[in-house]
Structure 1
Amino acid sequence: MAIEQPESRSVARVLFGPFELNLSERSLKKADEAIPLGARAFDILVTLIDRAGETVGKDELIAKVWPDVNVEEGSLRVHLSALRKVLGTGQFGRKYIINVQGRGYSFVEPVTREQAGADTTNALVRSSNLPAPLDGMMIGRDDVVLQIRSRLGAERLITILGAGGIGKTTVALAVGQAALIDFAGAVFFLDLSVLRSKDQVIAAMASTIGLVAQPGDPEDALLEFLHSRRALLLLDSCEHLIEEIAKIADRICQHAPDIHVLATSREALQTVGEQVFRLQPLDCPPEQPDQTADEILSYPATRLFMERVGARGVDLALGSGGAAFVAEICRRLDGIPLAIELAAGRAAIFGVRDIAAKLALRLDLLKLGRRAASPRHQTLRATLDWSHDLLSEIERAILRRVAIFVGRFTLEAALAVAQQDGTSQPDATDALGNLVEKSLIGARIDSWGASYRLLDTTRAYALEKLVASGEHRSIATRHANYSIQMLKVSSATPIASESASTEHLARYAQEIDNVRSALDWAFSPTGNTELGIELVVAAIPLWMRLSLVAECGSRVKQALGVLGPERAVDGPLEMKLYGALGFAAMLTKGAAPEAATCLRKALAIAEAVGDDDYQLRVLWGLWSDRNINAEFRESLSLAERFRSLASRSGDPVDIAIGERMTGFVRHYIGDHAAARRHIERMLALQDDALRYDNIARFQFDPWVTARVTLARVLCIQGLPEQAMEMLERGVAEALTIDHATTQCNVLAKACPVALFARDLAAAERFILLLERAVMQGLSFWQAEGRGYRGVFHLMRGETEEGVRLVRSAFGNVETKVVTPPYPHFLGALAEGQSSLGEITEALHTVDQAIAYCEFHEEVWYLPELLRIKGEISRGAGSDEIAQDLFLRSLDLARNHGALLWELRAATNLARLWQGGGRVVEARELLLRAYGQFREGFATPDLLEAKALLSALAVE
């Protein structure tokens, strides 16, 4: 017999979720469709709903449902299982009836009870049907909830718009909970995903707010019922019934002035008065090194990940390394909450490293899933299937075709790749716009105009569709061709200012991932190697402008490997490939033999085909390589060839660069006066309207590197104040140029100048900037940075650390970086060894440096090396040898016009003579050098000389 609950006499209907339980009729309906339910199952449901939110013991349930019969607990479980199957799951995948371990069962969804005999046509049921909030389900959305709730006061129809899985429902429910007070508890939630027609929506909405069926048109009855009432209606998942919901919402807003509607959809309703709130992904940690675990886990995306892992009973104690994997996972999943929750479930089993690795390879990206969820949220694939099934054929075609793009793309790019024969440009444009409206493609408008992007999850899904369609090869071919044309336009675009250069770089830098993707396809077994080679050549300027030198070298080797030996090496493509490979080898490995080999091949081809511009580029590259290898006579010859060719072309930039090349070599061979004249002549030709086009041609900004070279010459000539002023100006300009290779080059040249001037504060600043600027692959400058830091430690008296670092700067076999024995490094190393009492080793080191300079005619630093050897010899008790070395240093410094080296040699010799009683000679010697200075009297060298002069005067 049926049970009679205490409240059964006064309650006619109970509403929960999409269900209506009619007690008098003993029936259960879902969206007006009758649900078959056995008598025992019905009585169990009535008993649990009557005690909703409480735990009903098993024995109590059996006693109420089978009052006069002895049954086993198994019978109860069978009926409960059938009941659960009928009800399915509610919000967030929760079961309506849960098992409380060891205690019994509980009905956990909110219910609305309609009293028997109540005048439901004149009163709105005040008990909200919002699902109870789940702890830990919403992270990082508090501000969003506050914004939407505040807007609901003035705006009557708001649509929360966003991609599938982004958390629209969660936010809407949180807004509803927060707005209960604003609407006196009249907040009603309707899950539209289970409905399939406008009539079902009207019926479900009426049932949800407690409207008893009325004669006549159901929609009119609903609007009449709502007309004089105040409530908030939450309409969840509108996209599959978008036109029907739009009409219903519009009529509600017109006929019920105190009813507010908050909708969630992947597409806007586009009705009068609708306000769209586009929900963004959760913030993720940026991709940057040296973040602590606390910093990484402070972002909403990573906090959600950790919370959902913890909900699985797994305690992840993460250091910075593990936290970095969590950050990578969240970035790969674009901050989409559903995707993060699903990945967290896998991470609780397999760990964060495994999940990060799979996502990096795009494995399992769409398979991540959970059982206890609505069908469309059980996997990422199901979420996307839901949206894909609602698209037209042309929208599906455009979506799968634009999936070939990695990152952002423009409308022009999309049309060039995705518009196929039979599809007009207007139709393709409209389809793309519709995909944006339906939240499958994200849009951004900035100073460059509009650009678009697919989330990684959507892109992985659409790429599968592209492969399945049989269009992948044709679309990949169009994508590669478009990338080639885009890069050619980029290289040909004139750049006339620093701001234009920065904007140009930023505009095309975002294309690098598309270039990489196109190259991966082109060189794959199913690709097109001819296109790949052409694309590599077109991308060389972009790689160099982005300082991706190692990547450029790797791709060029790949292209040359495809060409093979059977193809004659005599064409423009080969010329550019060999030229790029030579530059890459030089910039990443320093004094590497393959740099000159490749550059000479490129020069020979350029001469054969009569390409003067490329001859200039390669001559500059060979000149740089010869300088790195200390082959200064050859580099001077190359500079003269460059100047001759530049004079024929008449290009003022080329003429200026030729002056700088000659001045640079003149400095290294000890002719500082000539070096200064050439470089100052070059700077006088500076034209900012022309400078920004030349980084791709000559790898560096030529003007700032010239300033730092001039600073070096001025310092050695005894003009330290002018030198430091010029140096600071050059470094400041370099730091404003968004080009890492230029910055590294300038800072590597600035460090020794500050060290020569003994300005340790400036030196430390430049060394630190260099260490920060060096990008992966530019190991050549990494080695230099270690060397300069070592010299810095030596000058501060931290001898052991200084010696270790300077030694580490030479010939790194592991990274295949070949660093020549720069004389100033060897001189500093010898001084450090001498300070440690390693006199024999110190003398060997300085002799090695002197021999190197004499062999290569790199004599600019030779006076200083002779002085250093003299000091070591004096410390070893060999005063006569020391005196001879100091005199040789003095003579050479005077011949070179190197006043700084002259002062140092004179100071050391004067101190030696002072000890031997030759005070007058010592004072005259030192005065001769000191008296030539016109500035820099507060520098350490001049202060030391002044103090010694004072001591000599007293004696």
Structure 2
Amino acid sequence: MIDATTYCFGNCRFTPARQSLLCGDIPIRLGSRAMDLLHALVRQPGQVVKKSELFEAAWPNLFVDESNLKVNIAALRRALQTSGVDVPCIATVPGRGYRFVAPLTVLGPREATLPASIKEIDGALPPSKPLVGRADALAAIVEALQQTRLLTVVGPAGVGKTSIAIAAARAIANGEDQAVCFVDLAAIEKGQFVALAVSRALGIVGNPIDDVEGLVDALRGKNQLLVLDNCEHVLAAVAGIADQLNHALHGLNIIVTSREPLRCRFETVHRLPPLQCPPADAILDAGSAMAFSAIELLVRRAEAHGYRLEDADVPALASLGRRLDGIALAIELAAPQLKESGPAGLLQMLERDFEALASRGDGMSRHKTLTATLSWSYRLFSESEARLLRHLSVFGGTFALDDAIDAFGYLADEQDVTAWLEALAAKSMVSVNYTGRRRRYRLLDSTRAFANERLVAQGEQQAAMIAYGRFILALFERAEEEWTWRPREDWMALYGGWSADLRRMIDWAYRVEGQAELAVRLTVAALPFWVEFSTMAESGSRVEKALSALDDLSGDHLLLRMKLVAAHGWNLCYRYPFGDELEATWKRGFKLALEAGSVEHCLRTKIGLAMVQTAMGFHQRAFETIADLRRFMESIDDYSAAPNADRELFTCEFYQGNIKSGHAGLERLAREHATFGNRGQTSRFQIDRFVNFRNHLSLSTWVVGQHRRALEIAEEALNAALTLNHDLSCAHSLAVAATPIALLCGRIDLAQERALMLAERLKTRQIDTWPPFARFHQAAIDAARGDVEAIQRLREAIAAIRDCNFLIHLPLRYVMLAHAALSHDKVVVARRSIDEGMNYSRQRGDRWCDAEFLHLRGLVCWRDGDENGAMRHLQDAIDLGRESGALGFALRAATSRVKLANEIGNPARPLAELKEISDRCDSSGSTDIAAAHDALMSGHAQT
């Protein structure tokens, strides 16, 4: 009988008796002498085979020169290397001989000398726990196997491919009366052992089969389901065997699990996704949380260890599910620790790393830890694929192919990077999804952590991070350029998702020696991003740090400094108190912009300066700044900022008491900018232009007596800001228009709704400008609802506003406090409020509420019993209101005058005057108009 012993190493099988050396399925051509030398070496693996023994094996009873041995050994090495054997096989032992050093498996001629991993295979279907959240996937797989005979379950490490394959096999076996043979190929090191493993699983023990033809013969005529589990490392061998078996045996069904498809004929691929996790913004209780399969699996498995779900745990559990990416193995490993650590504690551990998922068992299975499953896949990659995966770990979220090429194109040319990325995606190490029609990639958090550890271990982190930092810089520099023209919705969709990467890169660059300039440049490039997303607190801290770092950098960096100073000016607008530093910053910014020749920043800094001067109540200074700005625009023939300059001008006119001309100007601007669109540069001057113009117009419209129209304009502005989802514009609209206009019109419920909206915005955005305004509005609402203690809160809010020196609408706040005080019989408080308000208005030239202060003085005189003084002040208020155009205030004074006249018995002239003013105002829309109509009816009834 021929000795058919076979020696297996690398991907080769050597059968000396047949003079057969196969690499995969391809014969390696060797001379007979080389074959004899190889046989002599493999018979003593790992041992030194002396030269004399090798001469005897290849040239028995012949004398040959030693050079013949060297030539044949060299030929043997060359043949093995050329054929793709990727491990060293033959080592030279100088002066003595040679040693066979490759791992070697020997298969005997009859009683196979099988590897231990094959001997342990019995073909039985392993036990499994009940599936959670996989009912639909299981049904789809079982149904698919009615139409196909070869189905591959594909998915990332630990997603649950084995579990669902076992469940599907059990369901099919029970339903179809089909015999099941399960083969776990995880421990099969080489592809040439796959047929042997299947043979062993089928129970062919006495004479195991190591070729496909033998398997076909063994399975012919049988109704068999074959499950080939964990096939990614022997994919080519499994693909060849599965394809031939599928073609030859019509009674055979095959289920394969692998990180990537086999790519066989007639193969059906079922991609198994991670379990479903709640979205980050979901508001859940215990019941609704269990509708998400990742949470259900976590809770069900944790219950076996004593955990019980409570509503308070749901937010942390949802975050845990997302942190674990819905990977079933990770959830199974985390669940036993849930009771001991608590959801929040376990989440905190996993935020640091995934070591908390190390198994506490015996470590025998590669599935004992998530890291082990990832290591298993990682070892199967080519060095190029592994290197790209390590570099991709620096991406914080999703990315496109172009992003990977732009960031890490230095690793290889574009075609190679594309091929490697697609290979990683095919092997389920990189997740793929589609945004619109664009293909995007993402590393699961566990994969990212694993790959990043290896990036550090390989000494590649700094180079990768610098390359990635330059990519992020180029990305945000492009965003800054596109901000001038790209529609806002598109702009935010393109760049909004990079915020976490941006922050991480800036922080990293500051920590690493020599990278401070990169951090500063990243900060500058991100300035439009922070304003567009209203993250002013973050912008403020990062701009200040960048300005400080810039001072330590060599070189001038004029453009960087110019942009940072301008940004610092805007940031100071959202901090308290306003003061000399704020004005000085804007003036410095304009000087730098002139020096740098930047028209855009000259315009921004001048507009910024005028805005803060108005906000601080320095209207004459603002007029002078606007005049300077107009001269500058004329000198450069650039009027792009003219509408904003005009808005400042008309607002200042209005505040100074020129109500008719100021309101007319604001109306004209609103007509000229009447279309709301999703434009770029929403926040060029911090607040969207469409929104900003209408916020100021709504107040002037109320003052001129068009109350219903004022409510409509404020609502139009707020809706536009909400549509833009721009928090700065929303907060501005709620603070200076929507809430106060609702209060002035007596729409208390609407004012409360708007005040709550502002409070919610301020919870998520640290905008120091508006909290005192929000407190004032809430106190005014409470006072209107009968809360006498709210009067003190109104006073405190005004004091806080004055301390902050953000004095926009301050006269109106004194007016509102005085009215509230009078409504609660706090005459002393009302008198003090009137005096303080009038003194402030005279000092700053902020005269737009003067008519209402006269009205209030008349009401106080009336309370004091001074009817003549009351009549005189009320008439002065009416006259001033009509003359200046403040018909809303005139209407209030005229209504009070009719009421007083009814008391003293002479209502005729006051009635006529009220009728004339009322006819010039809206016919409805506020409690003031309703009160005027009631006074007219009552007065006519008396006459």
TM-score, normalised by the number of residues in structure 2: 0.81
Are 2:738 and 1:750 equivalent residues in the alignment? Answer: yes
Determine the structure 1 residue equivalent to 2:684: 697
How far did residue 297 of structure 1 move?
A: 5.0
The 8 Å contact of residues 199 and 209 in structure 2, kept in 1 or not, is answered as: no
Partner of 2:481: 492
Query: Retained in 1: the 8 A contact 2:480–2:526?
Result: no
Structure-2 residue corresponding to 1:194: 187
Q: Cα offset for 1:867?
A: 2.9
Q: Deviations over 1:673-703 (max 9, x none)?
A: 2223333443454497998233242122212
Identical columns (%): 28
Contact 1:549 1:588 in 2 (8 A): no
Residues in 2 aligned to 1:840 and 1:88: alpha-carbon distance in whole angstroms: 98
AA aligned opposite 1:719: Q
User: In 1, distance between residues paired with 2:666 and 2:699?
Assistant: 11
> Aligned to 2:902, which of 898, 901, 914?
914
- CA distance 1:225–1:877, change in 2 (3 Å): farther
CA distance in 1, matches of 2:835, 2:282: 42
Q: Tell me the secondary structure at the aligned position of residue 770 of structure 2.
A: helix
Instruction: Report the number of matched residues.
Output: 825
1:438 aligns with 2:424: no
1:810, 1:302 → 2: CA distance? 50
Verify the 8 A CA contact 1:811 1:820 in the aligned structure 2.
Answer: no
* Separation in structure 2 between the aligned mates of residue 291 and residue 544 of structure 1, nearest angstrom: 32
Residue identity matched to 2:329: L
- Aligned residue for 2:374? 384
Q: Are 2:875 and 1:887 equivalent residues in the alignment? A: yes
Residue 419 of structure 1 corresponds to 409
Q: CA deviation at 1:289?
A: 7.7
Structure 1 spans left out of the alignment, 5+ residues: 1-86, 91-95, 97-110, 113-127
Partners of 1:794 and 1:803 within 8 A in 2:
no
Are 2:347 and 1:356 equivalent residues in the alignment? yes
Query: Where do residues 305-316 of structure 1 align in structure 2 (5 Å cutoff)?
Result: 305-315=298-308
CA apart distance, 1:568: 9.1
Q: Secondary structure at the match of 2:490?
A: helix
- Cα deviation, residue 744, structure 1: 2.2
CA separation of 1:447 and 1:273: change in aligned 2, threshold 3 A: same
- Deviation for aligned residue 1:555: 0.9
How far residue 434 of structure 1 moved from its aligned partner, in angstroms, is 0.9
The one of 837, 840, 848 equivalent to 1:852 is 840
Deviation (angstroms), 1:533: 0.8
Pick closer, same or farther for the CA change 1:394–1:819 going to 2, 3 Å: farther
Paired residue secondary structure (1:692) = coil
| Alignment-derived partner of residue 465 in structure 1 | 454
Alignment pair present for 1:839 and 2:835: no
Helix, strand or coil for the counterpart of 1:451?
Answer: strand
Q: Is the 1:810–1:818 Cα contact (8 Å) retained in structure 2?
A: no
Report the equivalent of 2:568: 581
Shift of 1:524: 0.3
Q: Distance in 1 between matches of 2:177 and 2:266?
A: 24
Structure 1 residues 717 and 477: alpha-carbon distance in aligned structure 2, compared to 1, 3 A threshold: same
> Residues 162 and 866 (structure 1 numbering): CA distance in 2 closer, same or farther, change over 3 Å?
farther
Separation of aligned partners in 1, 2:334 and 2:811? 56
Alignment of 1:762-801 (within 5 A): 762-774=750-762, 775-798=764-787, 800=789
Cα distance, 1:736–1:689 mapped onto 2, change above 3 Å: closer
The answer to whether the Cα contact below 8 Å between 1:370 and 1:379 also exists between their aligned partners in 2 is: no
Alignment of 1:33-52 (within 5 A): none
**Is residue 272 of structure 1 aligned with residue 272 of structure 2?**
no
Answer whether contact 1:158 1:274 (CA < 8 A) is retained. yes
Letter in 1 for 2:489: T
**Conserved in 2, the CA contact under 8 Å of 1:863 and 1:888?**
yes
CA distance in 2: counterparts of 1:805 and 1:465, whole angstroms: 60
2:388 is equivalent to residue 395 of structure 1: no
Residue 654 of structure 2 corresponds to residue 654 of structure 1: no
Distance in structure 1 (CA, Å) of the matches to 2:878 and 2:401: 69
Given residue 263 of structure 1, which amino acid in structure 2 is its aligned partner? V
Contact 1:160 1:278 in 2 (8 A): yes
**Are 2:400 and 1:407 aligned?**
no
1:781-831 alpha-carbon deviations (Å, 9 max, x no partner): 3443343333334334455468647845863999x9977783333433333
> Would you say the 8 A contact 2:614–2:808 is kept in 1?
no
2:129 is aligned to: 134
Deviation string 1:480-538 (CA, Å, 9 cap, x unpaired) is 111111111112126657xx320221111111111111101110044500111111111
- Which residue is equivalent to 1:945? 932
Query: Using a 3 Å threshold, how does the CA distance of structure 1 residues 585 and 162 change in structure 2: closer, same or farther?
Result: farther
Question: Given that residues 794 and 817 in structure 2 are in contact (C-alpha distance below 8 angstroms), is that contact kept between their aligned partners in structure 1?
Answer: no
The residue that corresponds to 1:347 in the other structure is: 338
> Are 1:927 and 2:920 an aligned pair?
no
From 466, 490, 505, the equivalent of 1:477 is 466
Q: Secondary structure at the match of 1:443?
A: strand
d(CA) in 1 for partners of 2:686 and 2:673? 17
Amino acid at match of 2:164: V
Give the Cα separation in 2 of the matches to 1:817 and 1:158. Answer: 72
Matched-pair contact (CA < 8 Å) for 2:918–2:932: yes
- For 2:727 and 2:117, the matched residues in 1 are separated by 56
Task: Between 656-665 and 468-477, report the one with greater CA deviation.
Answer: 656-665
| Deviation of 1:290 (Å) | 5.8
The one-letter code matched in structure 1 to 2:388 is I
Aligned CA distance change for structure 1 residues 825 and 243 (closer, same or farther; 3 Å): farther
Displacement of 1:402 in angstroms is 1.6
Which whole-Å CA distance do the structure 1 matches of 2:703 and 2:150 have between them?
75
Equivalent position of 1:36 in the other structure: none
1 CA distance for matches of 2:399 and 2:799? Answer: 45
Counterparts of 1:294 and 1:801, CA distance in 2: 41
Summarize the Cα distance change of 1:906–1:374 in structure 2 as closer, same or farther, 3 Å threshold.
Answer: farther
Tell whether the 8 Å contact from 2:821 to 2:827 is kept in structure 1 after alignment.
yes
The answer on whether the counterparts of 1:780 and 1:817 sit within 8 Å (CA) in structure 2 is no
Identify the residue that residue 4 of structure 1 maps to in structure 2: none
Query: Which amino acid in 1 is paired with 2:395?
Result: F
How many Å separate the matches in 2 of 1:766 and 1:648?
44
Of 314, 320, 329, which residue of structure 1 is paired with 2:320? Answer: 329
Q: Is the counterpart of residue 249 in structure 1 residue 239 in structure 2?
A: no
Say which is worse superposed, 431-440 or 871-880, in terms of deviation: 871-880
Describe the SS at the equivalent of 2:573: helix
Asked if 1:184 is matched to 2:174, the reply is: no
* 506-515 or 714-723, which deviates more: 714-723
Distance 1:843 1:936, change over 3 A: same
Residue of structure 2 in register with 1:533 after alignment? 520
Name the SS of the counterpart of 2:262 in structure 1. coil
**RMSD of the alignment, in Å?**
3.4
Judge conservation of contact 1:923–1:949 (CA < 8 Å) in 2: yes
Deviation at 1:617, TM superposition (A): 0.7
CA deviation after TM superposition for structure 1 residue 663, in Å: 2.0
The alignment status of 1:552 with 2:545, answered yes or no, reads: no
Partner of 1:107: none
Q: Find the counterpart in structure 2 of residue 260 from structure 1.
A: 253
Q: CA separation in 1, counterparts of 2:309 and 2:320?
A: 15
CA distance in 2, matches of 1:429, 1:852: 68
| Structure 1 residues 372 and 173: CA distance shift in structure 2, 3 A | farther
**Alpha-carbon distance change, 902 to 384 in structure 1, aligned in 2, over 3 angstroms:** same
> Which runs of no fewer than 5 residues in structure 2 stay unpaired?
1-114
Alpha carbons 1:293, 1:324 under 8 Å: kept: no
Q: Which amino acid aligns with 1:440?
A: M
- Provide Cα deviations, 1:719-750, integer angstroms capped at 9, x if missing partner: 23433333333333222214222222223322
Report the TM-score when normalising by structure 1: 0.80
CA distance in structure 2 between the partners assigned to 1:483 and 1:437 by the alignment: 27
